[in-house]
Structure 1
Amino acid sequence: AFAVIPDSDLHVIGSDVTVQISSEDDRLTVRLPFGSHTRTFLQELSRCKPSPATSPRPRPRPRPRPRPGPARGGQPPRAAPWRAEPGRGGAGPAAAELPRCRRAGGPAEVSPGGAAGTRWGPGAAGGGPGTGLEARDPPGTARPAVQGVFLSWAASSSFVFPSRQSKVKSDVKAEMVRSSGVMVSNMASILSEPQFGLRDTIVKSQLVQREDSYTYIQNFSKFPMAGNASILCAPGFLSHSFCLFFQELDLSKEAFFFNDTPKEEEWFKAVTDSLHPDAKYAKVKLVRLVGIMLLLYVKADLALNISEVEVETVGTGIMGRMGNKGGVAIRFKFHNTSVCIVNSHLAAHTEEYERRNQDFKDICSRMQFCQSDPNLPPLTISKHDVILWLGDLNYRLEDLDVAKVKQLVEEKAFSELCRYDQLKRQMNAKAVFEGFTEGEISFQPTYKYDAGCDDWDTSEKCRVPAWCDRILWKGQNIAQLSYRSHMALKISDHKPVSSVFDIGVKVVNEELYRKVFEEIVRSLDKMENANIPSVTLSQREFHFEDVKYMQLQIEKFTIRNGQVPCQFEFISKPDEETYCKEWLIANPSKGFLLPDSEITIELELFVNKSTATRLNSGEEKLEDILVLHLDRGKDYFLSVTGNYLPSCFGSPIHTLCYMREPIQDMSAESIQNLTLMPLETSDAATQAERPLEIPKELWMMVDHLYRNASQQEDLFQQPGLRSEFEQIRDCLDKGMHDTLLGSNHSVAEALLLFLESLPEPVICYSFYNSCLECANNYLLSSQIISKLPECHKNVFEYLMAFLRELLKNSGKNHLDMNILASIFGGLLLRPPPGHPTPDIAEKRKAQQFIHQFLLREDTLP
């Protein structure tokens, strides 16, 4: 026999359920994400454990997983027959219940149908030990309120947490891993069950299509999107769920570059300790990206109605991935309603509203959630019934000076002020947040204040007050009950905002569901094997004209189904692992069509650093054949072609050094010969023409920054505009202008993207391990640099000299040597292909290696 023990002493950040499985011979620790699959895994293990009331017997095999089916009378399914009722020797029914946890010092929780005295400690931040839904009980004694736990946080500040007298421990019994089937009252679980074959797909699709015939709307009042300690503990404020969001939780360099911060756990503990003492809440999920954090609780008695929980993060900072700006999201199903909550921190500064619009679009396009059914494409934010979008959106007030804004605030003329609000203007122009709603703003701007008081910004910059912190929603059956700020909180230069919602949720009527289910099955019985599916395609040949580096092109076509339900999928050709080339993707790549229905497929072509080099050299062409396969039907063949415009992005350093003219002015044959020229022979004296010391494209970008951005704040830390990057790329590839177009931030980001796209980094792959080994020895490090090919060595010295010049102006540009070393360390010193993803230790060594050369100006040997 073996025990299944969720071990609270196994403190793992980022793992939602830590389980120990011990037998006579082995002890296995498993870390599992929260979700239906984890719950099923625990249920199957639970079935294998013999009942305490039975005599020892041979270890049983796991039973087959039961198919989902309706339960009668709305009652939860019975537990496994061997489950002993507390205090008795015989078996008895037990309600399906997730394990519970309690506060240290509080009374033990007795779960319905569970063993008395079973206790569960609250999980760690990021989903630490314990179950994915971690419930807590009211404490036995009063506790001090935590100050400063609030929703919309946009400034760095110190915070002192109350001490705990003892560490929270868990005393777990295996009986708490309960066995349960799928309750029909939770349609989300039913529809998320793995399905196999066309018939199951049709049933599932028909159930979704006829959802209105077996569901009804039930309102869950008070869905607050905020809370400091006083809010969470306020009398009468017993909400069904709480969602807390933070920005700039930790602004340290470690958090910025390594996404590692102890404050995540500190804030989680502070929030958990501040929950209302008269209610039991379960933690659904915590997700964090650097300083952007989102934390969701629900009342414990609603936990079983939560399913399909997924989280995702998207960084929109420099190079489109740094987490100083971006978004985090939690999506889940509550009963039969899908909900997505997004917390975002968008680009700063009044003039950067276009960048904020772009950040929003990037988050929407890149935020994709995996579905429990692997046959279905990922879900985007827009594919949810209810969307709540909140955070420091950073939109400002424009066309008004500081004095006028403050005057209107004093007069409480908020409606007048809203006319100058960038977010309102951009929404009216349908440039951003299309279809979203924001409640009436009846509170003064939440930014910018002097920390510790209610005075407006008195710094040298004297920022114009603005409503940076916002809460918006999209969907039906949503009523906003309140929308306010909290002036009493003074530890930030922002004032937090909160909102309370009344959200109508679709709940399944079990009797009607059974009726609809049976009708669908009977209808399918009549249709089965009647016909072979067939479709018509609106287009079968696609040509992408003048494809450029990192510039997305999309072609669309429509699949129109006939009279038979159809399941389609793009399949790989013989001897190929994927259905398309790396630069192409079909969205969606698989799906299901009801009779006489249609779907639009988008073919997205995008050339990035991994594909540009072979396209530049001509080794690969923009040519592919897609095979569209119909289940039980025939295959359709789609032809995809295009012409790629060669670019300096993705070209080797030594190749560019031999190009004295813009790359797009050269013949395809010349580009191919130079790109395929081996690096070791590029320095040979036999070459007909002496190469440039460094690529002219690199010189143009660095020279522009040296002349125009030596005193630019946040250089290499604030992203540029994508449209400006495209202009800069075209200037470099065509040689159209002597001066690069675009802002300094866009040129700086283009430089970083150029270095990232090099097929062989500035410090060649073969020297990677040697550089890490001597990261703290300048003499050995400089000897390694001296061994680089001449063109690579020149580029390295040139970049180090440029960065040292920037650091001489650090008093004005506020650049930090460690930040520059981290950014350029990850670009100049990259691990070779096939090398494991660098851990924090490797990243720190790469940073230290570059740091040496920023400190020293010695001439390399």
Structure 2
Amino acid sequence: MSAVETSAFRALLRPGDTVKVLLDAFAIPPGTDPTTGAPLPPADAVALLADAERVRRASEDARNRRLVAVVVHNEGSEEGSVFVFRARSTGKQLEQSDILRVFPVFGNLNISMAQIRRTTLMDSLRSGSLPQAAPGFLSLTITQDDAASISQTPLTLCTQQVETLRVLLTECKRLKELADAPPISTAPVLTTFSWLSPYTARRAPLPPLFSIPEDLRIARTPLHGRLSAAFAGQPGDDAGDVVRIRDEWIRVKARDEAGTGATRLSIRIGTFNVNGNLPSQDLSLWLGAQPLQPYQSQGIVTMAPALPPLLTDLGKIARSDFEEVMTPATAMTDNFQSPVSPDPSVISPLAGSTSILSLVSPTSPESSSSTVSSASATATSPQSSVPSSATSTSSTATLTTASSSEKPDLIVLGFQELDLSTEALLYANSTAREEAWMEAIYAALGQSKDSEKEKGKNKGGYVKLASKQLVGMLIIALVKTELRACFDQVQTAAAGTGIMGLMGNKGGTALRMRFTPPVASPSRSSSRNPSILSISSAQTTSTTATGAQSSKSVKLRKPGSTILTFVNSHLAAFDEMVDRRNADYAELTKRLRFELGTLGGESAGSELLFGDGEGADAVPPTPTASAGAPMPAGTTCGVFESDVTFWLGDLNYRIDAPDGDVRTILASDEWEDGRLETLVIYDQLKAAIRANKAFGTFQEGTLAHHPTYRFNAGLLKDELGYDLKRRPAWTDRVLWASNNFTRVQQTSYTGHPQYSISDHKPVSSDFTLNMDVFDLPTAEKSADRLYRQLRGLEDAHEDHNAHVSLKVLESSVDLGKIGHTKSVTKQVTVKNIGRIPCAYRLVPIDGESAPHPDWLKVEPMAALLLPDEIVQLTLTTTIDNNCAARLNTQNKELNCTLILHTIMGKDHFVAVTAEYVPTCFGTSLSRLTRLPGPIRTGGDLLSEERAINAPREIMRLINWMMSSSVRMDKVFVERADEDIIDTIRECLDTGVDFPFTPDEKEDKVPVAFGETLLRLLNSLPEPLVRADLQPQCVLQTSRDEAFEMLDAFEPAAVNVWISVTAFLHFVCQSSAEPEAKTLAVARLFAPVLLRDDAREVSPVGRRNFLLAFIRP
């Protein structure tokens, strides 16, 4: 027996079990009755003596090969058992299903042997010759007659390994003597040999880890958040938790072991509510076939068509081509038309075979293109972050420039209100409008509408992959011709949520597809698909993408696939219907289902794309885990069972700010800086995501373009072209969600104001998907091996001899002194000292508590450890403004107890202590005025009668900056130095003099003082202007009225307000550009001094109230 086979056998055994003898044998298949054809009983040793030729034939058939092993379990006392396995071909892993028989070595276990002879005794007497032995063939019969035994039917095998058989019999005799020492009656077999139960029990199959992706709502939840509810003394569902931890560990580990590199896919997504109109303008800008033009950041966005009319492949204006399918109610008026430009460089002719791409020079898109990684969380809310004084920073992702010279691999377009006719609700099977828009799309791409039919003539172009229409909603996917073979298993779905909750005037259409990356062979040029990395380049890229690379070389025979899902929806309209929109979203997530039962196991996209497949298993080790296994009839999946899900469309979420405020902010020069950031705070969709009422799984890039709804071509419009009857809003959106195996990078997200086809402006977004490339057969084989490796973990609750044993090397941790915004990190070592895998999770002390306090972060919260494996538990302090506000009023001594629950084992406890250093940040105004000195000096609070007029910390900052020698030019303009801020903060808390001398040539120190003041004011638990006073403040129309409002302020708040606004007035007045400086300062301080956590107060009114005090 080869060393490879011996190693494969050992891998099947559980930790603690060892193989003493391994015998190569073969079985004799039963014969059939020659008359009836019925199978005959298995042959016994006596019958085999008379049929040597049958033995010889059986030995030559590899299907009859068996392995006989003596396995010993030693825990306190030695116990043994004889295992009989079905042998597999070389290189294939043994599975538990290959265990055919198990014979515990005890009681009446009997193993007999006989030599197979060529001729029987009768034949020798008749012939007068002596019987001759068949060289090397021995029969081996195993019998166990005990009533309590696991196997009672005798088993006969044959072998040629005479010496190994002798060793096997000797070892079994030794083990039998040990087992027979205590009487069997006092030690039942099911108790004494309980370690055999994991081998003999019917095992649950390995779940499919690579066929249908895990639900994104689960995949994006931290592992500890998926486990059952538990606390000290109440472990919860340990059996279910161990399966969740196991599956997650196997999924990640198997893909990592099978990894070969990385690949990427570029996608352009567009959404357009066409308001029942047909295409009349060139769509190349929207589709990315022309360079992107900047969205006007100020002034009037013209309603005159900024683009030429659409030209089809016949060279005619689109309107005349489509008039025959247009109804009078939806016909375009001349106001939306523009004359044909005589300059061919600004239109998209399809003369000859010239592509539109050759008519434009590739340039970078506008500055609103963005790079937003899917690994990042949703944008930080304004309440939890301090507005920065540097104009170059923002609380959301920074927009960067993306290259437009490379055409996307995949284009997905969503249309809404494609057909507004009443007939469309009743007869929705017409494709006339889809065909009209498809012709316009092909024209914009520089292709003929018949290009798909011209085989071999569409290289570098696009072909339609799929489409789905439901009344006015249409989703279309186009793919590069050369990549068409990479996409298969394309499924569609649709659901209506409109009238009566069913009609298709509102609802969604969806596409689901499988992408299998192409693999460039050595003879294939990688320049053919510039956005797809070849294997050679992928090997280099994988280190950057994943941070690690497989330690062994994996041959890519059959790449793993990525599931992409696209949802195009049109949700309920009107400003006040936000709850209905949230309900529509929830309804669509339930009703949009893809039918998978008709999908075959293999298709073009899952063929062996590289190499000849030699050495690949014909059947994966675990059929249920195979991504190529056919789906049972009726199998469906939802929009979240995907590696990446994109959600686009007219979501109809509005801006919850007064109509006048929205228009003022969009149009006024005073709001040039930060106008869009201000409005995003009031966006209904962002609020729904924050509250987890809708789209909580998704994320969205920075909204750096103007609202795309609602525009009016008539007279009732404002100076920007927005309809006076409808508040402007970002109704048209593109969002996405992805798992950890697919990294999504958004490279652009913008609106296109140049289009006048509809009352909506189209929106487009470019994405790059970075995916790890892994070999699917290798991943499935690794998953099966890892599954067996973790068997002891799953069986620990059944096996009395399998003890999970976890050791925490540090039972107590002292974090020392900790403070606001300063992190302290310590580690705790956790080790698996047992013989089987184990897992742990952190649990709270009771059902009402959290596993750890809010000032402490612990990672990982749950983990799996192999025997002798070590995990470092990282403890990090995190004290934000809210946490500091509470800790500043409590005892300085902090302590907590972390409870590490060993799943199916006992709990371990880690005592954590720390000393909190109080700070003026996060301390209320009233408390600051009653402190007897700096907050670190301690002492009892002063009575209210003895309270000082204003906090000394705020006054110290203002007094230092009001010095005549301080330069104020860069204050509230440039980014501050964090080290200087920390020094200033320490001086404020301790009362130590500032170590800085005012200098007219120094800018960094004054900038840091200004930023410290801003952060200190923002850290106040309550805003300087109380929330109940703010609605009255924004109603003041003059400076005198604004000053009169101060009478309603608290005494301390009045003094701080006067001091701060006087200082801000001084800063603005001393600037070279007073008005610009004033507007910039107001943008920073209005959301801080009049903090509106409920978003119910006019942003324009709050800013005007502050301007009344600081404007020179």
With CA pairs under 8 Å and 6+ residues apart, which has the higher RCO, 1 or 2? 2
| Same fold per superposition (TM over 0.5) | no
TM-score (norm 2): 0.35
